[in-house]
């Protein structure tokens, strides 16, 4: 059956690169969640939009499901192929297609890495400002599919703000040209924005027009040690009022311990419960002085215990590593990840309750808090004890996530800030979106992909009885 299907696909699109080796199925069938056993039908690696369209048409006719695939650095199972799906990898479609200096628009294929996009923008003296640690391997198409956020959101917002246009292949294999780089376009529903964050369930992004912007002024990085969780938001408010911040990230002593064990350099002789990595404009001596002054006031007020301002680019990179190296340093502990958001104003009240909840719920597990506190996004990673079976661990964490989801609901927050819903957070979607909204999402999905070819089982199920993909 499988080989008949694949022979047919190869016959229909003779120039298509297909991979079926066991190692390839394993490699392309998973993302960074490592929870599901990869079991794709095969991997298709198209080299053109026409090939993508032909694959989708073929898949629809044969009732084969497609999992669109970028760099698979996702943390919610959105790119997992564990049910005999055809993985459609965009990795060979990774070129710059053009740059328009008037519009400051860079047009790229979806398989380009974020880092390559950054490089291409720099060649024109501009930047593409969305940035985060997985930049070297994640793809711009995947960033669009999850509306990726990252470390510069407090200044630049999410991926959504930078997408001028998209070319998308629909579930029928049609090529949609969405928004075409227009700044103003008040002509009805904005399908470009609908595609952003739809996790490959409404269409396959094949090309993107990205708005670029001016490089920021010279900046500097400061690491602060804090005595308490409560001081975090006060320090943020204080610094935001005095400096021009481009990042405000936090981590706990537990996160620091892991990242240092993984090779980063410990910043202070002593340890403290909380740390902040913040980046601020430091072009002029007065901006540098303002940073120093703000730090001294915080020290006097007891809101920070210690701090260091980078004296070189190498030192700035070393401070950033303390924050950006966390995910990699935790990977071997098979963490259960939470990626939650609340309004900044709701943060103090939410944090107080969430801390109590998680301390009670996880007395025996190591819990690692870090994230983009400046935009209300926390990453809470629960580490699997080495002796515990993974399925039992996930089961236990899922139980606690239900409580966390309830708390988020009470505080008007979201169960996914930037990683997406995928398979991991599918059972909790209703804590963030109303039944009416989920019903509308189903209707939209039905309209754009009536045969259910694109990434089925991700985000939500077509009907609310199925639970495909939930079992670890």
Minimum distance from CB of 348 to ligand 2HG (Å)?
21
Minimum distance from CB of 372 to ligand 2HG (Å)?
6
With CB atoms as reference, the residue minimizing the distance to ligand 2HG is: 327
Minimum distance from CB of 155 to ligand 2HG (Å)?
16
Minimum distance from CB of 380 to ligand 2HG (Å)?
8
- Which residues does residue 372 pair with via DSSP β-bridges, in sequence order? 377
Cβ burial 295-331 (10 Å sphere, 16+ → b, else e): beebeeeebbbbbbbbeeeebbebbbbbbbbbbebbe
Distance CA 88, CA 86 (A): 6
Distance CA 269, CA 389 (A): 37
Minimum distance from CB of 327 to ligand 2HG (Å)?
4
Sheet holding 86-89, edge to edge: 17-19, 42-45, 86-89, 66-69
Question: Which residues in this chain contact ligand 2HG in the complex, by CB under 6 A?
Answer: 75, 132-133, 327, 337, 339, 371, 379, 381
Minimum distance from CB of 302 to ligand 2HG (Å)?
28
In the bound state with ligand 2HG, the residue whose beta carbon lies nearer, of 132 and 229, is 132
In the bound state with ligand 2HG, the residue whose beta carbon lies nearer, of 136 and 439, is 136
Minimum distance from CB of 324 to ligand 2HG (Å)?
6
Minimum distance from CB of 420 to ligand 2HG (Å)?
11
In the bound state with ligand 2HG, the residue whose beta carbon lies nearer, of 203 and 335, is 335
In the bound state with ligand 2HG, the residue whose beta carbon lies nearer, of 152 and 379, is 379
In the bound state with ligand 2HG, the residue whose beta carbon lies nearer, of 162 and 336, is 336
In the bound state with ligand 2HG, the residue whose beta carbon lies nearer, of 19 and 321, is 321
In the bound state with ligand 2HG, the residue whose beta carbon lies nearer, of 60 and 379, is 379
In the bound state with ligand 2HG, the residue whose beta carbon lies nearer, of 339 and 449, is 339
Residue-level length of the chain: 472
Minimum distance from CB of 15 to ligand 2HG (Å)?
37
Distance CA 336, CA 183 (A): 40
In the bound state with ligand 2HG, the residue whose beta carbon lies nearer, of 337 and 426, is 337
In the bound state with ligand 2HG, the residue whose beta carbon lies nearer, of 134 and 291, is 134
In the bound state with ligand 2HG, the residue whose beta carbon lies nearer, of 381 and 414, is 381
Distance CA 82, CA 66 (A): 11
Distance CA 123, CA 136 (A): 18
3-class DSSP string for the chain: CHHHHHHHHHHHCCCCEEECCHHHHHHHCCCCCCCCCCCCCEEEECCCHHHHHHHHHHHHHHCCCEEEECCCCCCCCCCCCCCCCEEEECCCCCCEEEEECCCCEEEEECCCEHHHHHHHHHCCCCECCCECHHHHCCEHHHHHHHCCCECCHHHHCCHHHHEEEEEEEECCCCEEEECCCCCCCCCCCCHHHHHCCCCCCCEEEEEEEEECECCCCCEEEEEEEECCHHHHHHHHHHHHHHCCEEEEEEEEHHHHHHHHHCCCCCCCCCCCCEEEEEEEECCCHHHHHHHHHHHHHHHHCCCCCEEEECCCHHHHHHHHHHHHCHHHHHHHHCCEEEEEECCHHHHHHHHHHHHHHHHHHCCCCEEEEEEEHHHCEEEEEEECCCCCCHHHHHHHHHHHHHHHHHHHHHCCCECECCCCCCCCCHHHHHHCCCHHHHHHHHHHHHHHCCCCCECCCCCCCCCCCCCCCCCC
In the bound state with ligand 2HG, the residue whose beta carbon lies nearer, of 97 and 260, is 260
Minimum distance from CB of 114 to ligand 2HG (Å)?
13
Strands 42-45 and 105-109 come out as: unpaired
Minimum distance from CB of 73 to ligand 2HG (Å)?
9
Minimum distance from CB of 215 to ligand 2HG (Å)?
23
């Amino acid at each position: 059956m499988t080989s008949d299907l694949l022979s047919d696909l190869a016959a229909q699109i003779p120039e298509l690169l297909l991979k079926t080796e066991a190692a390839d199925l394993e490699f392309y069938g998973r993302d960074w969640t490592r929870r599901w056993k990869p079991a794709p039908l095969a991997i298709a690696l198209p080299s053109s939009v026409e090939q993508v369209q032909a694959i989708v048409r073929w898949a629809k006719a044969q009732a084969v499901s497609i999992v669109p695939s970028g760099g698979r650095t996702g943390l919610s199972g959105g790119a997992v192929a564990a049910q005999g799906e055809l993985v459609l990898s965009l990795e060979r479609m990774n070129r710059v297609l053009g740059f328009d200096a008037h519009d400051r628009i860079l047009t790229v294929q979806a398989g380009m890495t974020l880092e390559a996009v950054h490089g291409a923008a720099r060649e024109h003296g501009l930047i593409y400002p969305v940035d985060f640690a997985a930049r070297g391997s994640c793809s711009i198409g995947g960033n669009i599919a999850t509306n990726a956020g990252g470390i510069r959101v407090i200044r630049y917002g999410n991926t959504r703000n930078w997408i001028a246009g998209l070319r998308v292949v629909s579930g029928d294999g049609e090529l949609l040209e969405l928004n075409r780089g227009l700044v103003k376009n008040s002509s009805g529903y904005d399908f470009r924005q609908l595609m952003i964050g739809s996790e490959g369930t409404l269409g396959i992004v094949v090309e993107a027009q990205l708005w670029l912007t001016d490089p920021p002024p010279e900046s500097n990085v400061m690491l602060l040690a804090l005595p308490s969780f409560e001081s975090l938001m006060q320090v943020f408010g204080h610094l935001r009022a005095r400096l021009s911040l481009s990042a405000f990230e936090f981590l706990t002593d537990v996160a620091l311990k892991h990242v240092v064990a993984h090779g980063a350099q410990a910043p202070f002789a002593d340890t403290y419960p909380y740390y902040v990595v913040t980046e601020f404009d430091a072009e002029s001596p007065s901006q540098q002085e303002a940073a120093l002054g703000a730090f001294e006031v915080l020290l006097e007020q007891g809101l920070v215990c210690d701090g260091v301002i980078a004296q070189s680019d190498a030192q700035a990179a070393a401070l950033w590593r303390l924050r950006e190296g966390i995910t990699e340093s935790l990977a071997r502990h098979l963490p259960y990840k939470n990626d939650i958001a609340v309004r900044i104003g709701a943060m103090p009240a939410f944090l107080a309750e969430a801390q109590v909840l998680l301390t009670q719920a996880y007395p025996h597990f190591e819990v690692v808090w870090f994230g983009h506190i400046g935009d209300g996004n926390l990453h809470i990673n629960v580490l699997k004890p080495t002796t515990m079976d993974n399925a039992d661990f996930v089961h236990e964490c899922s139980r606690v996530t239900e409580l966390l989801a309830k708390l988020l609901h009470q505080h008007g927050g979201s169960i996914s800030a930037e990683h997406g819903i995928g398979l991991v957070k599918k059972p909790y979607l209703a804590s963030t979106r109303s039944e009416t909204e989920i019903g509308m999402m189903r209707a939209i999905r039905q309209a754009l992909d009536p045969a259910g070819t694109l990434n089925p089982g991700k985000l939500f199920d077509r009907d609310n009885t199925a639970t495909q993909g939930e079992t670890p």
